[in-house]
Each structure stands twice: as structure tokens, then as C-alpha cells.
Chains A and B, each alone.
Chain A
């Protein structure tokens, strides 16, 4: 018997049905063609035997599909990247495992079905790979040793840490700028050390803090940072020729709302948390 692919199961003796056996067994053929093939099956014992073999293969495929579905349901996708990372690293230490797997597959099936199984196995591998790539979170796939990897949970914690540090830094710099501005009071102009550029820089940083402070429910820090933001917006607009009346107005506002005291308190809180 010739070694054949899935479309060639009946090739040895019959000219009929070369390409349609899989569709026939899956019940996907149009009625006229299905009837022709069914009649041929009744008459041809060789084709009947081949069809029985193919039926078993397809049934096994269904079983494998069910297993995959069960496996997918049981996988802890959060922990999977770490698992894969370790497997990859372990695999690098023991590369001889792969050929054994190939031999096991090869020996399990009769020769004539090997191409069928090879195709099926390849399909399963491709299918599983496609499933993996569809389900994995880009950014979480650990690869060999040189690949970067961090879980989403860890990145959240790192961002929380960064939010604390950056908020502290923002508050410190804001304090310096406010003190600097007020020390120059009475001269009628903004202090030389202060520039709208500094205020704009802090305003640009604040954008990133907004999302983080809200995400991590750092409400007190958010409130104080919002107030500073508003002041800096004012200062960045009028710093070049800050008239003394304007300066006094802003100074009065900061004193009245005890902004510097509040900044200190929030700073203490954040320092304790670090």
C-alpha cells in the first residue's frame, strides 16, 4: 500500500473520493456527493476499512480537543508565564528531551496513518500555539534567559512604588518653588530662580501622577497635588512680570489654605509608606 496523505486514503485501488473523505466523515459534503461516496463505501471493502481508520483518528481528535478545552479551563493564566519561563530555562539545561517525544508519537500509530497523524499532530501544535498566542498577554511571554519578563501584578506594584516616590519628589520640588517665590515678595517681580519652565516641567510630571494617584487611591496626595498644579498654572503664565499684587494674592491663598503645612503632612505619610 502506498504511503499517503489524508486526501489519498483510497488512492491505491479506487479513483473515487480522493479529496473528500474527511469532509464525508465529518458530514460536511453536499447531498449528491455524499450519496455517491456512501454507495461506494457499501461496495468497496478496502475503502470501508480506510474509512473506519480515519473515523477513529477523527474521534481521537475530538477527544484531544475536549482535553485541550479542559486543560485551558484549568490553567492558571496568571502563573503561566512564570511556569513557562522556568520550563524554558530547564529545557536549556536538558535539550535531549525533544527527540524522545517524536519517537513516541511515531511508534504509536500504524505506518499508513503516520502522515495523517503527522498532519494532525502538526495541526494540534499549530492550533495550540495559536491558542497560546491568542490567550497570552503580550508582554508576559517569558522566553529564553535574555528576555525581559514581569507579571502584571508586579508591574502594578512597581508603579505604586513609583507613584509614591514621584509624588514625594513632586511635593518637595513644589515646596522649593513656592518658598522661592514667596521669599522674593515685595520686590514686585518673580524670583530669578523660578521660571515658567520649572512650573511647566512639574505640570508635565503631574499628568502621570494623576492616573497613578487615582488608581492607587492616594486621595490625600491627589488633592494636594491638584492644588499645587493650579498654582503652578498661574505662576507659569505670569512669572515673567509677576506684579506684587498678583504675588501677594497667590501668597495669601497659599497661607490661607495652609498649603505648605499640608504638603509636609502628605510628605510624611508617603515617606512612612516607603
Chain B
């Protein structure tokens, strides 16, 4: 009897094993197909595949990851932002969630919350604000950047401490430039104190600190364009100058990059250019 029982047990174990073996490729194939459709932004059929995977193979190792892609599909479909937000949050809470995808999902939550807020759902912004204190630096920084774009400047100003921290501690130039521009939007005073704190810790002897540009229309004393920005943004600022102004300078034979580098050397001088239409451009550096 014991032998018979052992034999039955072995048969059951083998049959279970083979069914597990058979299940793995089926769920994997579904997941791959879904991801390929996501790659092509074919959202509706991709969502169908993902739902099929989660229904037919709820215990699949891909079921949790599928939640992230469900969020991608719902987000891509448009009009289902709240459902997408829920899917990403479900993924973040999942025990099977992977660190890199969680970081991505957090970013998507910030984007969607911002989108919902912009469409009139004031409460949605809580998802962005709460991430200003997220343990993951990447999430924290992104939430601050996104919050800086909020039109209500009192709300946007809440991003200032995190943006200030980026300037004081980070080295990545792309991140630094973004933080500087975001702070210029929400709190130039915070940008100033961040730059001063940076300067105190890493003195840049002799290098300029501020670029100033003024453009006056003919006969006007009030500047039509005024700019005071950190020297670190000078290159970007010149690249962003109005095409007409750049053309004006080129027409007069001035190479704007050379001008600024010369001004940086002399520091004391002010470049004043009068255009054919009587407009005046002043550039100087402190």
C-alpha cells in the first residue's frame, strides 16, 4: 500500500511539474507579445494581451511586471489617466516589483498626477508633492522639477528646497541646468542662495558669476528684454536668444560666443550694439 501511495505521489508530482513547465512558455510568450505591441504603441491589443496574461496566469512571474505595462497601455490610450495611475501604484506596491521599473513607475505617477492636476483635479497634485520626500533621489528630483512647472507659483515654490539641494550637491551638468532654470521660474532668491552656497564651498576665483542682457527698442528707455542669470547658464541663454536678435548680431559681424568669452575675460566692459532699426543690445558680465 505504501509503495502504491508513493507511486501515486510521484505521478502527481511529475504531472504538476510538467504543467508548470508548460505554463512558463505560454505566459512568457504572451508577455513578449504584449511588450512588442507596447514598443509599437499598439496600446489596445497590448492591453488585451496583458489582461489575458493576468487572467490565465495569475501566478506567473510576469504577472506583476505586466501591471507596469498595463499602466503604459492605459496611459497611451488616453482618457484613462486615473486607471493608469492606479495600475502604476499597484505595481509599486507589488512584492514582485523590480527596482528599475519601480523608479520608472514613480516617474509615471508624477507625470500622470501633474496631467490630472492641469486638467482641473487639484487633489491629484498630492501625488507629486508627497514625492518631494521620496527616499529615491531620482524620484525626488523629478517630482521637484515637475512641481516647478505648476502655474500656481505658491504651489510651485514648494519645489525650491529640493531644487536648491540639486544645485548644491549634484555634479551632472544636465541636471544642474534643469534645476537652475526651474528655480529661476519659482524662486530666483533660492537660486541665488544655492549659487552662493556652492561658491562658498567651491570657490571659482576669477570666473564670472552673472550674465546680463538688455535689449531696448528704438528710442525707448525701458528694456524690451531683460535677463540676469547665473554664468553657468550663459551658453544656454545665448543659444535661446531670439533668432532676430542673433541675426542682428551676425549681420553686424559679431560672433556671439566669441563676444561672451571676451567679455568674460575683461569682466568690466559692457558690449553695446545698435541695430539698423535703432534697437540697442547691451551685454555685460559680473
Which residue of B is nearest A232, CB measured?
B100
Cβ A138 vs Cβ B228 within 8 A: no
Instruction: For the complex formed, measure the closest distance between the CB of B234 and the CB atoms of chain A, giving whole angstroms.
Output: 11
- Docked complex Cα distance between A245 and B181 (Å): 45
- Asked if B228 and A86 sit within 8 Å, CB to CB, the answer is no
Find the residue from B185, B224, B241 having the highest chain A CB count within 10 A.
B185
Contact (A150, B153) CB under 8 Å given A157-B240, A233-B100 = no
A101 CA / B188 CA spacing, docked (Å): 31
Count of chain B residues with Cβ under 8 Å from any Cβ of A?
53
A97 at interface by CB-CB < 8 Å: no
Q: How far is the CB of B108 from chain A (nearest CB, A)?
A: 9
Known: A205-B174, A230-B38. A81 touches B188 (CB 8 A): no
Write out the residue numbers on chain B whose beta carbons fall within 8 Å of the beta carbon of A82: 222-226
Closest Cβ–Cβ distance, residue B43 to chain A (whole Å):
12
A236 at the interface (CB under 8 A from B): yes
Contact call B184/A155, Cβ cutoff below 8 A: yes
> Could you give, for residues 149-173 of chain A, a 1 whenever the CB lies within 8 Å of some chain B CB and a 0 otherwise?
1111011011111100110010000
Chain B residues in 8 Å Cβ range of A208: 142, 145, 178
Whether the Cβ atoms of B229 and A150 lie closer than 8 Å is yes
- B111 on the A face (CB < 8 A): yes
CA distance A161 to B223 in the complex (A): 23
The CA-CA distance from A203 to B107 in the complex, in Å, is 10
Q: How far is the CA of A79 from the CA of B222 in the complex (A)?
A: 9
A127 at the interface (CB under 8 A from B): no
CA distance A162 to B178 in the complex (A): 8
Chain B contacts of A83 at CB under 8 A?
A: 222-223
CA distance A149 to B191 in the complex (A): 10
Contact B236 A162 (CB under 8 A): yes
The B214-247 residues at the A interface (CB cut-off 8 A) are 214, 221-230, 233, 236-237, 239-242
Given contacts A203-B104, A207-B107, A139 and B188 within 8 Å (CB-CB): yes
Q: Is the interface of A mostly helix, strand, loop or mixed?
A: helix
Question: Does B240 lie within 8 Å of A154, measured CB to CB?
Answer: yes
Bound-complex Cα distance A81 to B181 (A): 17
Residues in A78-102 with C-beta less than 8 Å from chain B: 79, 81-83, 85-86
Q: A83-B222, A154-B227, A169-B174 are in contact. Are A162 and B181 (CB under 8 A)?
A: yes
B82 at the interface (CB under 8 A from A): no
State A158–B228 Cα separation when bound (angstroms).
Answer: 13
A227 surroundings in chain B (CB, below 8 A): 39
Compute how far the CA of A86 lies from the CA of B228 in the bound complex, rounded to whole angstroms.
12
Residue of B nearest to A231 (CB): B39
A178 → B minimal CB distance (Å): 14
Q: Contact string, A48-90, partner B, CB cutoff 8 A, digits 1/0?
A: 0000000000000000000000000000000101110110000
- Inter-chain contact B111/A149, CB cutoff 8 Å: no
B177 at interface, CB cutoff 8 A = yes
Residues of A within 8 A of B229 (CB): 148-150
Instruction: Decide yes or no whether B101 CB sits under 8 A from chain A.
Output: yes
- A148, B192: Cβ atoms closer than 8 Å: yes
Query: Are A233's CB and B104's CB within 8 A?
Result: yes
Contact in complex: B177, A162 (CB < 8 Å): yes
B residues near A158, Cβ cutoff 8 Å: 181, 233, 236-237, 239-240
Partner of A138, one of B145, B154, B224, B237: B154
A interface residues, tally (CB under 8 Å)? 49
Distance of A270 Cα from B37 Cα, bound (Å): 28
A2: chain B residues at CB < 8 Å are none
Given contacts A139-B186, A139-B188, contact A148 B153 (CB under 8 A): no
Chain A nearest Cβ from B209, distance in angstroms: 9
Report whether A138 and B226 are in contact in the complex, using a CB–CB cutoff of 8 Å.
no
In angstroms, Cα B98 to Cα A234, docked, is 12
Q: Are A155 and B181 in contact (CB under 8 A)?
A: yes
Residues of A within 8 A of B240 (CB): 154, 157-158, 160-161
Chain B residues in 8 Å Cβ range of A230: 35, 38-39
6 nearest A-B residue pairs (beta carbon): A82-B226, A157-B240, A148-B188, A138-B153, A158-B240, A161-B240
Binding site for B on A (CB under 8 A): 79, 81-83, 85-86, 137-139, 141-142, 145-152, 154-155, 157-162, 165-166, 169, 196, 200, 203-205, 207-208, 210-211, 226-227, 230-231, 233-234, 236-237, 253, 274
Q: Given contacts A81-B226, A154-B225, list 15 more A-B pairs with CB under 8 A.
A: A139-B153, A139-B184, A141-B188, A147-B189, A148-B228, A148-B229, A150-B184, A150-B228, A154-B240, A155-B184, A155-B185, A204-B142, A207-B111, A230-B38, A237-B100
| Chain B interface (Cβ < 8 Å from any Cβ of A) | 35-36, 38-39, 41, 98, 100-101, 103-104, 107, 111, 138, 142, 145-146, 149, 153-154, 156-157, 174, 177-178, 181, 184-189, 191-192, 210, 214, 221-230, 233, 236-237, 239-242, 286
The 13 listed contacts between A and B (C-beta, < 8 Å) are A139-B153, A145-B228, A148-B188, A149-B226, A154-B227, A158-B239, A162-B177, A165-B236, A200-B100, A203-B100, A211-B149, A233-B100, A237-B98
